[in-house]
Structure 1
Amino acid sequence: MIPFYKLSIPERRKWLVDHQLISQVQSEQYAKDYSLTHTQLSHFSENVISQLAFPLGVLKEIKVNNNSYMVPMTTEEPSVVAAANHGAKLMLKNGITATSYRTGIYGQVVLDGVSLQQTSQIDNDLNQAKKDLMTQFSSLVNYGGGIETIELITENKPFLEIRFKVNPAQAMGANKANAILEAYSQRLKTQFGLDSEFAILSNAPAQFVTAKAMIDFETLTKGSISGEKIAHKIARMSDFAQVNNYRAVTHNKGIMNGVDAVLLATGNDFRAVEASVHMHAASTGYYSALSQWQVINQQLVGQITLPMPIGVVGGSISSRQLIKNNYDLMANPSAEQLSEIIAGVGLANNLAALYALTTDGIQKGHMKLQLQNMLLSLGASESQIPKLIEKMQQDKNYQQDYAKQLLKEMRN
């Protein structure tokens, strides 16, 4: 049987249909050119002059909470999807256990120069304000969301902050949270004659997901290098990332390679997640690694905790056919399940990077994929590329000028 990654793009879509992961109609939709019209593009952004397309790949199988998922990933970096597949395969035997905690997203209404009397009036009104806002935004309540808490923050004088936590149900919730905050800001003006400085959501970490994987030593063995030796080296690299921020930021970037790719493929705001994640990484006052790997009871054990302010409804999710197809590909997970899948992918990418660093080095896998891109840009054909890569690796010469020389010789 030909490995999935060696199939052509049409053959991969056929494989998905044959395995009942997508329908024939969805396969045809994936094959369709979804270039947007100028009118559509103008609704998506400002000052549009054209559009860019990114590849849509898949992580063929990752096991999270005893469920197997095929996960869509959108990225321009070829090694990201390859790494996710490798890391997930290493974790496949024992799988990943994950738990999400969707407690809401924060929002802030901030006032300046408020008197003690006015502060007391605002404080006394908070319970009633919450009731009135829950009534005003009953549609959110009907979906299982609503305002979790409203509290007064007085520690940043002369500013007064009214901090909200909003449960967005299955949505990411940015628009709904901002609407609630602006409604409360108007209440302050109407009832107390106070103009707020601003009212907006905060991307501070509030919704978390934790994923954990346990990998047997034998699974990690590579050639003459024992799995136990690799496990200990990975654990020591992880220890270093905990105490060295120069390493931690690159360690975390490898995690976010996978996380961002899934966020893009599912129509979520990767910028919001990135902002939240890096605040979390520095929550102790020192920027540190988001994951930790240890050797426990003859296994390599990895754990990661990430803020994950995402949704599975709203925004551009329901308005873009391919995004909807991507959810079907994953059997339409809830927001909680999607958070757990994404954390698992981040852990898989992290493991693959650490595994490469402790065995072949990071360049070997990266270089082959980068060479493919370079050779394509030079006009090499699909049949020429494998031979050119083999020759360049044999000679350990990866320069573009050498590639041009080899391509010229091959054509002559």
Structure 2
Amino acid sequence: MKIYEMSNQQRIDYLLEHDFIDQGQADFLAKKQPLSEDLANSLSENQIGIFGLPYGFATDFLINGKDYLVPMAIEEPSVIAAASNGAKRVKANGGFKVITSPHIMYGQIVLEGSSPELLAKLEKNKATIIESANQARQSLLKRGGGVVSLTFEKIGDDTEVLLGVNTVDAMGANIVNSMLETIAPQISELTGNDVLCAILSNSGKSQLVKVEARMKFSDLQTKQMTGQEVAQRIVRLSDFSKHSVMRAITHNKGIMNGIDAVLLATGNDFRAEEAAAHSFYSQKGYQPFSNWQIKDDQLVGTLELPIEIGSVGGAIKALPMAQLSLAIMKIDNSQELQAVIGSVGLANNLSALRALVTTGIQAGHMSLQSKSLAVSAGAQGDEITEISKQLNQIKEYTLEKASELLEKLRKQ
């Protein structure tokens, strides 16, 4: 039986049998109680309930020679299906090759006013400022992290103090903000200038991930097109997105579909990642995150993106489902998680582009939405599967048709 045909309990049993989870984690999943009331209250203001999202996993990810099942939290069924489909095609050709960079997060202190004398005074006291910042988070130094850079620059009428910190496996927002708020008063006293603000930057410019995927033409063909024709059309559409902002936006949204789903499943900040990704590709006019070319009779896709995440601390440590996600993937550090997230983005991109240039996006998308339509029409239990099946047979995906089919089914 294929995984998507299994019941929820059968999928949990599959994870257990293949050592992705242990018995305790299987029991936790079966209970379907992701958060206690106390934990929910600690994570949100004015908390009155738990907003649920479906939690599933994508299959067939081979990344830098290691196999992964990738947990994803999302309400759109086609996203997990597309990720698995894209990953399976790439796996048949050696899998994803990923290069990650050091985990550096930046923080800014904005001083009111600027002058050559002020900048010179800051440079003269640079070592002392760095020492103070490191002392604010001594535990980070023990893990191999700490301040890696400190620069000063006149911006407009004010002065930017930019602190670069290796946050190791933590996302780093609280670490960097703590350091900034420690050194900001010292810098103000040193210079005599008031501090306008002290806050991290979500630029992600030093957390770049580079992903590559290669495919033989034969792994792209459809009943109507040869693999080479499909590859050529994917390249053409990819090139078009470099010249059309309208297309680039949707091209990138498809990539973020998969990335955000993994971020949610692992307790990471998807808002920070969205800001980092889109700003990175807006420096010289908005551009697509990925690029597709034909090289050596193969379709080659690349994605380069800042991926601003962590694998320890904060909500990641507090949320049981986030811990479960990391356990299923057997993640050792944040750079490994970055590699997985980048690969998911490129896999979703491949599936979307292939669908767009062949059958169109709606054919697969709506067939997967048929169960949602059945539920919206009021179907329950086995009725959902039957109404979904009938909608897929007639390919008329409307709530009215789903309601009509349900009424007929119940009369029978």
Q: TM-score range by the shorter chain?
A: over 0.9
Contact 2:292–2:300 (Cα < 8 Å) also in 1:
yes
Does structure 1 residue 254 correspond to structure 2 residue 286? no
Partner of 1:164: 163
Aligned letter for 1:384?
E
**How has the CA–CA distance of structure 1 residues 330 and 36 changed in structure 2, closer, same or farther, with 3 Å as cutoff?**
closer
Shift of 1:103: 4.7
Determine the C-alpha separation between the residues in 2 that align with 1:220 and 1:186. 59
Q: 1:395 to 1:326 in 2, by over 3 A?
A: closer
Q: Report the AA paired with residue 220 of structure 1.
A: L
Deviations 1:246-293 (A, max 9, x none): 00000000000000111111111111111000001112x210100001
Shifted more, 391-400 versus 68-77: the winner is 391-400
> Which AA in structure 1 matches 2:111?
L
Counterparts of 1:175-194 in structure 2, within 5 Å, are 175-194=174-193
1:134 maps to: 134
Following the alignment from structure 2 to structure 1, what is the Cα–Cα distance between the partners of residues 390 and 50? 36
Instruction: Determine the structure 2 residue equivalent to 1:26.
Output: 25
The alignment status of 1:365 with 2:329, answered yes or no, reads no
**Mapping 1:334-349, distance limit 5 Å:** 334-349=333-348
**3-state DSSP of counterpart to 2:117:** helix
For structure 1, the residue ranges without an aligned partner over 5 or more in a row are none
Partner of 2:88: 89
1: CA distance between counterparts of 2:281 and 2:34?
38
Distance 1:211 1:318 in 2: 27
Q: 1:203-231: CA deviations, max 9, x gaps?
A: 11221100000000111112242111111
SS at match of 1:102: coil
Shifted more, 109-118 versus 157-166: the winner is: 109-118
Aligned AA for 2:245? Answer: N
In structure 1, the partner of 2:319 is: 320
Cα distance in 1 for partners of 2:63, 2:34 equals 34
Which piece of structure 1 moves more, 82-91 or 190-199? Answer: 190-199
Q: Is the 8 A contact 2:132 2:182 kept in 1?
A: no
- Structure 2 gap segments, 5+ residues each: none
Deviates more, 1:321-330 or 1:214-223: 321-330
Distance apart, 1:184 and its partner CA: 1.3
Structure 1 residues 199 and 385, CA gap change in structure 2 (3 angstroms): same
Q: What is the alpha-carbon distance in structure 2 between the residues aligned to residue 109 and residue 130 of structure 1?
A: 13
Which secondary structure does the structure 1 equivalent of 2:98 belong to? strand
Asked if structure 1 preserves the Cα contact closer than 8 Å seen for 2:34 and 2:320, the reply is no
SS in 2 for 1:51: coil
- CA offset digits 1:349-408 (Å, max 9, x no partner): 000101111221100111122221021122213433444344444544322222212211
The one-letter code matched in structure 1 to 2:146 is G
1:398 equivalent in structure 2: 397
- Whether the 8 Å contact between 1:153 and 1:161 is mirrored in structure 2 is yes
Do the aligned residues in 2 keep the contact of 1:150 with 1:162 (CA within 8 Å)?
Answer: yes
Distance (whole Å) between structure 1 residues aligned to residue 136 and residue 382 of structure 2: 63
C-alpha contact (below 8 Å) 2:241/2:251 kept by paired residues: yes
Q: How does 1:226-237 map to 2 (within 5 A)?
A: 226-237=226-237
CA contact (8 A) 1:104 1:165 kept: yes
Paired residue type of 1:80: V
Counterpart for residue 58 of structure 1: 57
Match of 2:40 in 1: 41
**What is the identity, as a one-letter code, of the residue corresponding to 2:42?**
H
Q: Relative to structure 2, which stretch is displaced further, 35-44 or 167-176? A: 35-44
For 1:255 and 1:128, locate their aligned partners in 2 and report how far apart those are by CA, in whole Å.
Answer: 43
SS in 1 for 2:294: strand
1:265 equivalent in alignment to 2:231: no
- Once the 2 structures are TM-superposed, how far is the Cα of residue 38 of structure 1 from its aligned partner? 4.3
Deviating more after overlay: 94-103 vs 185-194: 185-194
Deviation at residue 37 of structure 1 after TM alignment: 4.6
Q: Which residue of 2 aligns with 1:384?
A: 383
C-alpha separation in 1, matches of 2:31 and 2:396: 39
For the residues of structure 2 that align with 1:308 and 1:25, how far apart are their CA atoms?
31
Residue range with higher mean Cα deviation, 355-364 or 34-43: 34-43
Give the 5 Å matches for 1:102-121: 102-121=102-121
Q: 4+ residue stretches of structure 1 with deviation over 6 A? A: none
Residues 348 and 135 (structure 1), Cα distance of their counterparts in 2 relative to 1, 3 Å cut:
same
Aligned counterparts of 1:37 and 1:321: Cα–Cα separation in 2:
10
Query: AA paired with 1:203?
Result: N
Matches within 5 A, 1:277-288: 277-283=277-283, 285-288=284-287
- Aligned residue for 2:332, secondary structure, equals coil
User: In the alignment, residue 182 of structure 1 is paired with which amino acid?
Assistant: E
Aligned-partner residue type, residue 220 of structure 2: L
Return the alpha-carbon distance in structure 2 between the equivalents of residues 345 and 396 of structure 1. 29
CA displacement at 1:192 relative to structure 2: 3.4
Maintained 8 Å contact 1:185/1:199: yes
What's the CA shift string for 1:128-172, capped at 9, x where partnerless? 211332234321111111111101111x23111111111101111
Report Cα offsets for 1:172-197 as digits up to 9, x if no partner.
10100011111110112333333200
> Any residues of structure 2 matched to 1:293-312 within 5 Å, and which?
293-312=292-311
Tell me the CA shift for residue 48 of structure 1. 2.4
- The size of the alignment, in residue pairs, is 409
Query: Retained in 2: the 8 A contact 1:206–1:309?
Result: no
Q: Using the alignment, how far apart are the partners of 1:390 and 1:13 within structure 2?
A: 24
**Partner of residue 73, structure 2:** 74
Q: C-alpha deviations, 1:325-346, integer Å up to 9, x for none?
A: 2111111231111111111000
Superposition RMSD on alpha carbons, in Å? 1.6
